[in-house]
Amino acid sequence: MTTIHSLYFLAGLMGWQHGYRFVLTERGPFSSKLAHDLARGRAPRPPRSIARQLRVLVARLCQDDNGCGKQLIVAAMLAAYTRLYPPPKDPVAYYLQRHPGVNPNLVKRIAAILSSLGIIQGGERVITPNK
């Protein structure tokens, strides 16, 4: 179930205005309304453009098909961590601190994929003053 919530959360970050609100739990993003809609078989399908983006994301995350659901949850949590206030300076380090025992290389690879797809910012943040 957490994998589905993670997909909907990521789809929302890709621009789909599905109307679900998520809270971040230790297991990943969760929406009680989405859980209710899924239980009743009424969860909406994403538009084609978002579905294409999700397929690209899943293909890149799940190349080896080993723990694909776990990788989607890590991706959603990394994306959620970058939206905390104030955001952590290093979302990968923050993730690893909160989830000890997870392979750091896996988390770094997922962060790089999210960054390359524009879901999270990669590299250093440059702030230029207004003139």
For range 48-61, the mean pLDDT = 96
| C-alpha closest to that of 75 among 101, 47, 106, 114 | 114
Look at residue 127 and tell me whether its pLDDT is greater than 60: no
In a domain, 123, yes or no: no
CA distance 5 to 19: 13
Phi, psi of 12 (to 5 degrees): -65, -35
CA distance 13 to 15: 5
Look at residue 67 and tell me whether its pLDDT is greater than 90: no
Domain count for the chain, please give it.
Answer: 1
Name the residue range of residue 40's domain: 4-117
Handedness of CA 42, 3, 63, 81 (dihedral sign): positive
In a domain, 40, yes or no: yes
In a domain, 122, yes or no: no
For range 4-18, the mean pLDDT = 96
